[in-house]
Amino acid sequence: MSDQGVYIGTDSGATTSKTGGIFADGSIISHDLRQSSTNSAAGTDAVIAGWIDGAKGFLADNHLSWDDVKGVGLALPGPYQDYGVLAKSSNLPESFIGWNFWADYSKALEAAAGRPLPLATGNDGDLGGVGEAHAVRGDQAVGVVLLAPGSGLGCAYIDRHGDHLAGDNFAGMEAGHMPAPLHLLGHPPVYTCGCGKGWGCIEAYTTISGLPQLLRDTLPRYPDHPLATSTEPDKKKVLSLRDLAQQGDALALDIFDFQAKALGLHAANLVTALDPAYVVIGGGLIDPGATTAEFRQRYLDGIRNAALPYLFTRQQAEVKFVAATLGELSQAIGAAFVARNATRS
Ligand SMILES: [Zn+2]
């Protein structure tokens, strides 16, 4: 039993859901996430049951009960048709289109807790940003931009009150699909992006999604590199680059230097519009479990150095470029913070 009450957050991925939580004062209950299967192949009822099981297990692990819970948050990848209603998602079955997961999960939570519980939801990138923003700024009332390159480019803006910019059409901060400034990047071709906009989305120049195209265009400068003659599938080739870069491979470093520059220019774009105090960089290239300290510093410096010339003078001195710190926790913890934000008076 907790004197102050708790907020539970679930980060629902396509295959695995993670549950975490915070106390009402914002402190993190546990750095051990509760992992459970999302079970999306078995339908929406099974997914809901998995979220409830995850919450129950997390409460039991931490000697808490439903009586302690003041609110619940859920991070689920969009896009959405409406608040808490899924649109077509690339990672979930077609039958999930139009699913009002907010209504179904609210009902299941009420049954589990024996009383209605407030439920807040948002897309995983935004809620991960809420978690990271809280970690980086503590009690300062300042804005935070999060850029997390992975398979796509997760982008979030968290305002001084701790709220994420969700937008009015559930597409706020889909900033990975803004165009890259190709003239500042040596005029690479317009890379294709899964969103279909066709204007050279920055996501394609900064993440795994566009790496096959970037590798194709970089390899001619390294004709003797083993990847130049490799017959491995593209996907395998690009996924070898991060490890190669840790070993000092010139081609791999060239590619990630390019990605850092592209991401830095994009950070400058976003800072120009949003004027945050912090730019937090997340994703696999900043993961201490997979990269060396030297590589992470090089990547972060590359981002900052590309951004600085395009910031206003005060921003050049004040905006801090920092690495994300919560790792896998960020989205579940962010979901718990969004639940707390939603219930504040
Ligand atoms: Zn795009």
pLDDT along the chain (345 residues), means of 10: 89 90 95 88 93 96 97 92 89 90 98 98 94 94 97 95 93 95 98 93 96 97 96 95 97 98 98 98 94 98 98 98 94 96 83
- In the chain, % helix, strand, coil (3-state, to 5) comes to 45, 15, 35
φ, ψ at 155 (rounded to 5°): -130, 140
What per-residue confidence (pLDDT) applies to 345?
62
Q: What is the radius of gyration, based on Cα positions, of the chain?
A: 21
194-249 residue pLDDT tens:
888 999 999 999 999 999 999 999 999 999 999 999 999 999 999 999 999 999 99
Question: Where do the domains of the chain lie?
Answer: 6-122, 138-325
Give which of 229, 230, 187 is closest to 205, Cα–Cα: 187
CA of 202 relative to ligand 1 center, distance in Å: 7
CATH class of segment(s) 6-122 = alpha beta
CA of 111 relative to ligand 1 center, distance in Å: 40
CA of 330 relative to ligand 1 center, distance in Å: 24
CATH annotation of 138-325: 3.30.420.40
Distance CA 169, CA 188 (A): 32
DSSP helix/strand/coil, 309: helix
Burial 305-325 (b: 16+ CB within 10 A, else e): ebbbebbeeebeeebebbbbe
φ, ψ at 145 (rounded to 5°): -105, 130
CA of 64 relative to ligand 1 center, distance in Å: 43
CB atoms within 10 A of CB 243: 12
What per-residue confidence (pLDDT) applies to 38?
85
CA of 307 relative to ligand 1 center, distance in Å: 21
Please tell me the pTM assigned to this model: 0.93
CA 319 to chain centre: 21
Distance CA 1, CA 308 (A): 49
CA of 218 relative to ligand 1 center, distance in Å: 21
Token couple for 337: 């913070």
CA of 181 relative to ligand 1 center, distance in Å: 14
CA of 197 relative to ligand 1 center, distance in Å: 6
Give which of 275, 258, 267, 168 is closest to 214, Cα–Cα: 258
CA of 179 relative to ligand 1 center, distance in Å: 8
CA of 190 relative to ligand 1 center, distance in Å: 11
CA of 63 relative to ligand 1 center, distance in Å: 44
CA of 236 relative to ligand 1 center, distance in Å: 23
What per-residue confidence (pLDDT) applies to 33?
85
